[in-house]
């Protein structure tokens, strides 16, 4: 069993800044990743929900290649301890975001400009930014973090919410944008 292991987030292949050294498209990036890492003595893990999410970005051929390459594993949700203080902070963060979202919606509601698609687009963008940026906002992200915690393995991600939560629960993380360089160092060893 390899000594080194990583938990991979979809952002490594979906985020254009993170995948640029692997390929132009998610499928191209995954195929390149497999080719560049297949000779390394390293295990790469992904939880099933995250794999399913990644597959929505890949073509059928690449999906089959990834299915054979990646180690699939769910976190043991009943055995992982997370401090209550982490959830207290999370709940307070959610409350603040909801209140800011409400104020934003009120601001747009009193705006007396005509109701138009451009106005709604701006509202959606600002609302999404206020409520979702920098927060753990999906079951996929949570499962990714729990698996990394359980395996005591670093998460490879560019998701700000995952990084922020990883810091709170003591998980090591590697920014997906520099992961290519780390892999090339491992290749030289």
3-state DSSP assignment of residue 11:
helix
Q: Residue 133: its pLDDT value, please?
A: 66
Pick the more confident residue, 154 or 3. Answer: 154
CATH of domain 4-77+139-188: 3.40.50.1010
Distance between CA 164 and CA 159 in Å, rounded? Answer: 9
**Phi-psi region for residue 126, left (φ > 0), alpha (ψ -120 to 50) or beta?**
alpha
The single-letter DSSP state of residue 144 is H
Residue 146: CA atoms inside 13 Å, Cβ hemisphere, count? 22
Domain extent listing, the chain: 4-77+139-188, 84-132
**pTM reported for the whole predicted model:** 0.78
Pick the more confident residue, 185 or 90. Answer: 185
Encode pLDDT of 10-26 as tens digits.
999 999 999 999 999 99
Average pLDDT over residues 16-45: 94
Pick the more confident residue, 177 or 77. Answer: 177
């Amino acid at each position: 069993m390899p000594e080194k292991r990583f938990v991979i987030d979809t952002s490594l292949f979906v985020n254009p800044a993170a995948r640029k050294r692997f390929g132009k498209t998610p499928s191209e990036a995954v195929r390149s990743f497999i080719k560049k890492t297949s000779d390394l003595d390293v295990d790469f893990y992904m939880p099933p929900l995250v794999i399913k999410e990644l597959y929505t970005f890949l073509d059928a051929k690449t999906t089959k290649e990834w299915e054979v390459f990646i180690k699939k594993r769910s976190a043991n949700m009943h055995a992982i301890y997370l401090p209550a203080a982490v959830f207290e902070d999370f709940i307070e963060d959610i409350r603040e975001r909801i209140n800011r979202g409400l104020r934003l919606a009120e601001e747009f509601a009193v705006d007396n400009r005509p109701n138009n698609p451009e106005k709604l687009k701006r509202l959606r963008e600002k609302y999404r930014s206020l409520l979702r940026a920098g927060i753990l906002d999906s079951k996929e992200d949570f499962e990714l973090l729990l698996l990394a915690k359980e395996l005591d393995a670093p998460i490879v991600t560019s998701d700000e919410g995952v990084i922020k939560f990883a810091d709170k629960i003591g998980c090591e993380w590697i920014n997906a944008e520099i992961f290519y360089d780390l892999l090339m160092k491992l290749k030289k060893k």
